[in-house]
Amino acid sequence: MGDPAADASAAWRPRLAPRARLRWDEVEKRYMLVFPEAALMLNETAPEILKLCDGEHTIEGIVDSLVQRFAGIERKTIEEDVTSFVARIRARGLLEG
């Protein structure tokens, strides 16, 4: 792993850490990211980002995929969303690669 404090570069291929699990919650009708002693309730786009954190997709690839999926939202906006979300999850040690 590189410098964890550095911004995620476009070529990085993040992978969700084994201790974190993306799960659909039937009660809340939302996705949550579950990890030891905690869970994050996710908005609509976050699960789509996390599903692509598979060690195959680069950050750029994730952005490309979301641009196609969410037509009508500017690429720049999506790029910012992905970068900031990934950085936050990475700082909690929940992304590898």
Partner 1 sequence: MVQLHLSGGEPVVRKDLPELIRHAHSRDLYTNLITGGTLLNEEMLRQFRDCGLDHIQLSIQDTDRRTAELVAGIRSYDKKLEIAPLIKKLGLSLTINVVMHRMNIDHVPALITQAAELGAQRLELANTQYHAWAEKNRNALMPTRAQLDQAEAVVFEARPRYQGTMEIAYVKANYYSEHPKPCMGGWARSYMVITPTGEVLPCHAAHVIPGLHFDSVRDQSLTTIWAESKGLNAFRGESWMQEPCKSCPMKTIDFGGCRCQAFMLAGDAAVADPVCSLSPHHDIIQEAIAQAEQGDGRFIYRDSRNSERLSIRPLEPASR
Interacting residues toward partner 1 by CB under 8 A:
1, 4-5, 17-19, 21, 23, 25, 32, 34-37, 39, 90-93
How far apart CA 33 and CA 24 sit, in angstroms, is 9
- Decide whether 69 or 92 has the Cβ nearer to partner 1: 92
* CB nearer partner 1, residue 69 or residue 88: 88
Closest separation between CB of residue 92 and partner 1, Å?
7
Cβ–Cβ under 8 Å, residues 8 and 90: yes
Measured from the CB atom, is 3 or 71 closer to partner 1?
3
